Amino acid sequence: MSAVLDNHFNTLEWTYSNPEEKTTINAQKKDNNILLKGIYRGNAISKSYTIDEHPWKEFFPADLSQFVVSDKSEIVFWCIAVFDPGAMEIGEFSAKKDGEEVIKINGKSVNAVHLKITFTDWKSVFWQGDFWCRREDGQYVLYKGVEGPGGAEIVTILVREIR
């Protein structure tokens, strides 16, 4: 995956490739439209999504760092799914701050902001993710969630930073 972001970490262009699935797509934002083209699972795909004033954030929560360190309590944004169900469809998401806490990451105490991220519509019954980001700089450090109804619990932890 690669992307072009603006100075607020909003996605302007995004490229996704998965050779095992015979998928290579590119999406570009033009005004309030996102144009997606390429090959998806071996078949040509071309879609256009119309979005509102909310930003496109294809790399959440990594691209939510400015929100994390802000005084705002919620942000609404758009993201294109790459996994089923709903792959190659766009969804509107909400990230809400759910307090601050000290968590352990690699044996070190980290002051973190807890984010709850979910869809803004009926799809919220299928997925919600809990994300923790470092308070000082908004760096994403921990994710806990269940992948779909009856799915396995997934935990992702920041292992190492290269600065």
> What pLDDT, on the 0 to 100 scale, is given for residue 158?
67
pLDDT above 90: residue 133: yes
> What pLDDT, on the 0 to 100 scale, is given for residue 123?
83
pLDDT above 80: residue 84: no
> What pLDDT, on the 0 to 100 scale, is given for residue 162?
62
How many other CB atoms are there within 10 angstroms of residue 119's CB atom? 17
Mean local confidence (pLDDT), 73-102 = 92
How far is residue 140's CA from residue 134's CA, in Å, rounded to a whole number?
6
Q: By the 8 A CB rule, do 149 and 124 touch?
A: no
Strand partners, 24: 17, 39
Q: By the 8 A CB rule, do 141 and 72 touch?
A: no
pLDDT above 70: residue 94: yes
Q: For 54, which DSSP code?
A: S
Q: Please give the model's pTM, rounded to 2 decimal places.
A: 0.86
